[in-house]
Every structure is written in structure tokens, then in C-alpha cells.
Amino acid sequence: MKLKEITGTMFAYSYLCSRKLWLFSHNIALETESEDVKIGKIIDEYTYKKEKKNINIDSVCIDFLSDGIVYEIKKSLAEKDTAIKQIKYYLYILKNKGVENPNGILKIPKIKYQEEIYLSDKDVEEIENKLLEINRIITDANMPNDKKLKACSKCAYYALCKI
């Protein structure tokens, strides 16, 4: 089965909320209005400016530090788990392109947190299952039903989502 192109943002959203994933995949991108997203972009823009290189591979844009390590910068620990999933997705893409043992780093400058990220066989299995699930959600003509989440009140889609 040919899967739709799945960006890093879509992959991360799949762990947060299926409605958010569906809305975003239908080109309804309200995230630019969210204060949290604005802060995240500012952090990304001004941190590791010199060392950073962007590379586009298929549907994703990956940030590298100068030594070739995939990295992701987040503003708080609350984003840690999703960020790790996203980095592993990038490592998976690189591995499929023939890069041997790719690895990554998650950084949270505000609390001086750093974690190295590797891709295991179990991760590969989880990612492939997740890609199938994402494909099913985004190719559905209808927005999925979901429960109201803790994050809903801060979500940029809240007014549109009407959950």
C-alpha cells in the first residue's frame, strides 16, 4: 500500500490527538496563531544558529547540528516524549535512506536538558504501525471522533474543533 506523505509534525500530532492530525493533514494549519508554537519557533530560530543545517528528505525537514546529528529543540519537558518520537521518525527515514546507525539529540535549553536518541528494532516496528494508523486517519473523509483532552483548552484548533 502506498502511504500518503507524512511530515514530522503529522507524526508528532498522531501521538497528541487524532483530530488535530486530521485537521492539519487537511491543510487547516492554525498552529501559527498559538502562543506556544510562536515561542517554540523563536527558540528554534535563535538557538544553535551557527551549527544548524536543514535538510529536506521526502516529506520531512530535518535539523542537524554541524556533526551530522539529528536534533530537536523544545521549550519544556512537557514536550519531551513527543519530541523523542519525532526524532526517532527522522532516524527511521535516514535509516531507510541508507544512513548507518543514525542518532539524534533532544535539547531543552531552558532547563539545560539533553538526551541522546537511538533507533531500536522495536522503535522501527512501532513507527511502521504508527504510519499505517496515520494513513488511515488522514485518508478518512471525516474528522475522527475523540474525547476532550486536557490540552484542548490551549489548542489552536479549539474553536474549529468544537469537541
Q: How do the residues of the chain divide into helix, strand and coil, expressed in percent and rounded to 5?
A: 50, 15, 35
- 91 to 130: interface string for ligand SF4, x by CB under 6 A: ----------------------------------------
Choose, by CB under 6 A, the member of 6, 10, 17, 127 that binds ligand SF4: 17
159 by DSSP, 3-state: which? helix
How many other CB atoms are there within 10 angstroms of residue 69's CB atom? 16
Choose, by CB under 6 A, the member of 9, 19, 71, 79 that binds ligand SF4: 19
Instruction: Give the Cα separation of 133 and 42 in Å (integer).
Output: 32
Q: Contact between 30 and ligand SF4 (CB under 6 A)?
A: no
Q: Contact between 151 and ligand SF4 (CB under 6 A)?
A: yes
Choose, by CB under 6 A, the member of 20, 74, 85, 107 that binds ligand SF4: 20
Q: Contact between 152 and ligand SF4 (CB under 6 A)?
A: yes
Q: β-strands 53-57, 113-117: how paired? A: unpaired
Would you say 115 or 140 has its CB closer to ligand SF4? 140
Q: Which of 76, 64, 134 is nearest to 104 (CA)?
A: 64
DSSP string, 8-43: HHHHHHHTT-HHHHHHHHTT---GGG-HHHHHHHHH
Q: Contact between 146 and ligand SF4 (CB under 6 A)?
A: yes
Q: Contact between 161 and ligand SF4 (CB under 6 A)?
A: yes
Residues making contact with ligand SF4 (CB under 6 A): 17, 19-20, 146, 149, 151-152, 155, 157-158, 161, 163
